[in-house]
Amino acid sequence: MYKFPKDFLWGSASAAYQIEGAYNVDGKGMSNWDHFVRIPGKTFKGTTGDIAVDHYHRYKEDIALMAEMGLKTYRFSIAWTRIFPTGNGEINQKGIEFYQNIIDECLKYGIEPMVTIFHWDLPQALVDQYNGFESEKIVDDFVNYAKTLFKVFGKSVKYWITLNEQNIFTSLGWLTAQHPPGKFDDQKMFYQVNHHAFLAHAKAVLAYREMGFDGMIGASFAYTPSYALDCNPINAMSKMNYDDLKNYWWLDVYAYGEYPIAAMKYLEKKGVAPVVSQEDKEILKKAAKEINFMGVNYYQSCVCEYNPLDGVTPYGTMNTTGKKGSAQVTGVPGLYKNPQNQYLKTTDWDWTIDPLGLTYLCREITSRYRLPIIISENGLGAFDKLESENKIHDIYRIEYIREHLKALSQAIDEGCEVLAYCTWSFTDLLSWLNGYQKRYGFVYVDRNEETGSLSRYKKDSFYWYKEVIETNGEKL
Ligand code: BG6
């Protein structure tokens, strides 16, 4: 009944800081996150990724579980600080060895490695030297790091994601102060930081081609598709404003190498537009022609309603407690606000559950950009319970992923080219703002503070997804 392409990449994803642990082992340098989590009050109950789920030492066990499940691809990120402890300079061979082992282990089981070059853990040395992405100097260091990875792993890795969720790490870093560097409402810098990140992405893409590789490369974007509240034209306009500022600002640059016109005008009037040279424009355009897919992380959709000039501000409180109903409405005065969608249920963290939103965004990418799509993340964060005999009955997760896969199969049926679907995540891991209480994995990790066992237990969803893969999605 449900059809997926013959060579569809059924996958699962993770990120270095969230799983590896071993934060100071084998020559690894300190990252901005190693630093940030040590500032009191920054993370949920002071949680860190110092140990995380100890994937650094247990990768063989984890990848064997992936093989048992039948995963076709495993998306993971490389910690820049393992390769270049201080961001540039001499290569740390131990870091290379670790990722070579992961890649070899995947290939041994026929699992396609999909590598994210940057999933938010930036060498702290580059922050100390020039404030990381705030300086254009980041571009050369990022490209040097990316080229090193291409050179060493380029023959065995065919799928590359330059940046994970540029829109999120910059928003939380410079607008809401929840991620490093923890700045609040620094809009001018926010747009400049993004411009540097775009250049870093673009130059890495161009370098990949110049080095003669013909693999697949692109970026992963946290896509929150939007619906107008109703057919009141002012609400339809608010949706357009939202999309320009919150979605197309990134998607258009990746796919066309151009910023959305109305949004740029708006930012210019506010005096917060980025400085973009003619040369930058050419680089962005050139790189846009070289990407092979749009990577999408999809968790929720939103509603757009007109927001008066004296209306709600952009930075409401995010629910980081898991107590339903604690998130606030956010918006940009004069443009839009995002009220709750009364037709949709939400997770315990107030994220709307909207499978059809996945069909919607695939259709939108296909018609706007004509690009293949990789769903690089999708999943449900929940409080899981370890029951007797180490069972975890996460029926709610099965239900969530099943509905999203049905929606994806609908998008494919309607003509979208979807190459891969990666759930977030394979094992449980650290949630940046929610510690270890918000779980996403197919594999439960027992972080029992007393026993410290970190044992792995397969959840019900593990067996279910295994069967989905075996039947290539026919049996959802
Ligand atoms: C994405 C990130 O934003 O969502 C992941 O790429 C993150 O790193 C995931 O963990 C889920 O977010 P959260 O806040 O629920 O952990």
**pLDDT tens per residue across span 92-126:** 999 999 999 999 999 999 999 999 999 999 999 99
Q: Whose CA is nearest to atom 10 of ligand 1?
A: 431
| pLDDT over 90 at 377, yes or no | yes
The phi and psi torsions of 409 (rounded to 5 degrees) equal -65, -35
CB of 431 within 6 A of ligand 1: the answer is: yes
How far is 372 from 293, CA to CA, in rounded Å?
Answer: 5
Average pLDDT, the chain: 97
ipTM beyond cut 0.85: yes
- pLDDT for 327 equals 85
Q: What counts of helices (H) and strands (E) characterise the chain?
A: 16, 14
Ligand 1 atom, smallest distance to 349 CA: 15
| pLDDT over 70 at 451, yes or no | no
| pLDDT over 90 at 318, yes or no | no
- pLDDT for 475 equals 84
CB of 377 within 6 A of ligand 1: the answer is: yes
CB of 438 within 6 A of ligand 1: the answer is: yes
How far is 249 from 260, CA to CA, in rounded Å?
Answer: 6
Residue 457: strand, helix, or coil: strand
- Give how far Cα 443 sits from Cα of 63, 65, 378, 428, Å: 11, 9, 16, 6
CB of 435 within 6 A of ligand 1: the answer is: no
432, 433, 438, 439: which to mutate for ligand 1, most atoms within 8 A of CB?
432
- pLDDT for 326 equals 86
| pLDDT over 80 at 448, yes or no | no
CB of 223 within 6 A of ligand 1: the answer is: no
Read off the tokens for 213: 């590789």
Rg from Cα positions in the chain: 21
Q: How many CB atoms lie under 10 A from the CB of residue 89?
A: 11
Q: What is the mean pLDDT of residues 436-452?
A: 87
- pLDDT for 449 equals 67
Residues catalogued as catalytic: 377
- pLDDT for 426 equals 98
- pLDDT for 325 equals 87
- The answer to whether 14 touches 76, Cβ cutoff 8 Å, is yes
Measured in Å, residue 377 CA sits from the centre of ligand 1 at 9
